[in-house]
Amino acid sequence: MRDREEARKRAHELVSRMTLEEKASQLRYDAPAIPRLGIPAYNWWNEGLHGAARAGTATSFPQAIGIAAAFDRELTEEMGRITAVEGRAKYNSSCAQGDRDIYKGLTFWSPNVNIFRDPRWGRGHETYGEDPYLTAQMGKAYVQGMQGKGEHMTAAACAKHFAVHSGPEALRHEFNAQVSQKDLYETYLPAFEALVKEAEVEAVMGAYNRTNGEPCCGSKTLMQDILRGKWNFQGHFVSDCWAIGDFHTRHMVTDTAEESAALALKNGCDVNCGNTYLHLLKAYQDGLVTEEEIGTAAERLFTTRFLLGLFDDTEYDKIGFDRLECPAHLEAAAKATAESVVLLKNNGVLPLSAESLKSIGVIGPNANSRSALVGNYHGTSSRYITVLEGIQDYVSPDTRVYYSEGCHLFREKVESLAQRQDRISEAVNVANNSDVVILCLGLDETLEGEEGDTGNSYASGDKLDLLLPLVQRELAEAVIKTGKPVILLNMTGSAMDLRYFQDHAAAVVQVWYPGARGGRTIAKLLFGEISPSGKLPVTFYSSTEDLPAFEDYSMKGRTYRYFQGRPLYPFGYGLTYGDAEVENAIMAHDPTHTTVTVTVTNKSDIAIEEVVQVYVKALDSPYAPPNPRLCAFARVRLSGQESRQVDLQLCPDAFYVIDEKGEKQPGGNRFLISAGLGQPDERTKELTGKECVSLQVEFPQNA
């Protein structure tokens, strides 16, 4: 039953038969059963950031930031669909065993559509990058794939964390993110708005922090005025976990748990992830909330449960255990890994020749690391294939693969009784005995991630700077000094300071956290069976000296739209093994659509995939960002020497700007439209040797 009004009527009728205590009990994330009404227990908390998470075996996709690097809507939608199908398989099989525990329901608290505004933020790899338009497009695709188009929702997606949330992790429980109306509506809200209004996302989760003084899980401005008012959100709202308790213990905007529960409920928070709603009955007794308000929240939640078909026979009831990690799902995950990898530098060493290499050195703490494959919020794979294993499996027995861990991920030594850097001499010996070195450095979820979930206690999951750990930098210098060609595989979920490798490595490849079996696909990329095709969804800066203070939420000086310096690697940048070019841009414009048509030509003999991008700059408006912004993109597959025409429809607000009041205004009459394989900036031109094709258009009046 996809009819929300019918589901709402059924929810109203069911809730009307509950006592006050029963209604209040259903607002907990771990809602208990009400046997007399035939209502089973239901746990609202499930995760599906890049595959069904935390409930055992499931297909493992690359981390979300890697999915963003693919610039592929269809791929992202397929990931959402597979996550939902495997979620149904788990739900069906778990319920059959009477297991209704956490992480086994059908309400997935994904995707994370916060803007990755600062590379120091530990949770940035959960996002789709720094651009509002790209984030909205990827987020919409994920939601549409997860919720499906059937008679019932396959699963319910959740847009999080609403809103203006991107660190610092150490301060999130008391932090007040102060933001202008322009930045709010231009940068921080568009993805949420798109998911609500265009993808009809079923749930929204509030953030831990305050925004302009109001706690996000109890904000009248965000929850009532914008979400349910301006955007007419019809689904349910959930707090981040234990965030409502922060109202009186950390934010100090209320004095008691009862007051905190009342503030959240009155502003529209329906599910409490945490325990503060255990105080709702006392809040009712004190006159802080009404039974009607409690009932309204319960009705919203049961509306979702009816839309999922949890009280009916559905088309998904026969999805079986055999769908978990089935061949088709594993193939989709491998395709996602292939599209996510970004080639940042190549002096000609790549692709490698499996036939001519007699020996390969694989070095580094992430070379044989399972943790570096999966990022955070992950499921369990029945098999892990590390980079080392992928290379070992790919080459013939005649090719010797030498391996050294090289150093610990961040500690001074691998063995506790050894001297400092106890693996570095082995690494040098590996390099000296190898024709080429694959150097696997980076981080994992213990160094960048969520406060409380990481081993990085000194920064609560954030990074203090953009440098790799010192032991890894020392390892890199020692290996590169051997004179052997070194290919850096950087396995991180965020932008790092890679200047040394840009200057000294033969090739630099950003592989993110590529999924549990990612090593197999990475080997195929290294040896040329697949051409890299990912593009950066974030700017790689030279260092934190290029950035404003982490706590500053103004967009000035941040992300490709507002950064005025020279990036190391720009947003939208990424190389292939081929040689593609974009030519002959033509624009067709009417009051409802603007389409830019270009010719894309692969001038090489290698089959490649490329991402064509269109950027728009308003030339007349003082409210336009200083740099052109992404307004369209398309992934294109080209055979050797193939040319193809590609139509790219610009986003509806391409010719609009946001003023200081946060209101959308026409951007003037003159615009610069640039189409290419990256941004129309000098650094992209310098790195690629290619220029965008540009059109300067003038409209008699903005329409």
Q: For residue 339, what are its two tokens?
A: 């599209």
Are the CB atoms for 678 and 684 separated by under 8 Å? yes
Return phi, psi of residue 35, to 5°: -55, -35
Half-sphere exposure in the Cβ direction for 177 (13 Å, CA): 30
The residues that bridge with 177 in the sheet, in sequence order, are 211
> Helix 132-147 to helix 73-96 angle, to the nearest 10 degrees?
40
Q: Choose, from 126, 448, 462, 497, the residue flagged as catalytic.
A: 448
What distance in Å separates the CA atoms of residue 695 and residue 703, rounded to the nearest whole number? 18
- The amino acid sitting at 685 is K
The residue annotated as part of the active site, out of 240, 259, 299, 546, is: 240
3-state secondary structure of 135: helix
Q: Where are the alpha helices (DSSP H) in 267-386?
A: 280-285, 291-307, 327-340, 371-374
The Cα 70–Cα 367 span in angstroms is: 23
Closest CA to 82 of 312, 319, 313: 319
Per-residue DSSP letter, 34: B
Sheet holding 629-638, edge to edge: 629-638, 608-618, 670-676, 693-698
Residue identified by tokens 């070095």 is: 363
642 annotated active-site: no
Q: Which residue has the tokens 């200083």?
A: 626
User: Tokens at residue 417, please?
Assistant: 């009784």
Q: Give me the amino acid identity at 530.
A: I
Q: Partners of 693 in the beta sheet?
A: 675
**Peptide bond connecting 161 to the previous residue in cis, omega within 30 degrees of 0:** yes
Please tell me the distance from the alpha carbon of residue 163 to that of residue 205, in angstroms, as a whole number.
9
Spatial distance between the Cα atoms of 31 and 108, rounded to a whole number of angstroms: 16
The DSSP code for 290 is -
- Supply the Cα-derived Rg of the chain in whole angstroms: 26
CA distances from 2 to 120, 201, 219, 228, 303 (A): 41, 13, 30, 20, 10
**What's the CA gap between 592 and 596, in Å, rounded?**
14
Task: Name the residue with tokens 């030594």.
Answer: 413
DSSP class of residue 169 equals G
Told to judge if 240 belongs to the known catalytic residues of this protein, a careful annotator would answer yes
Which single residue is written with the structure tokens 């996002």? 127
Question: What is the dihedral angle through the alpha carbons of 512, 157, 73, 89, rounded to the nearest 10 degrees?
Answer: 80
Q: How far apart are CA 292 and CA 312, in angstroms?
A: 27
Residue with tokens 């746990």: 43
Look-up of token digits 């193809």: 644
Residues with catalytic function: 240, 448
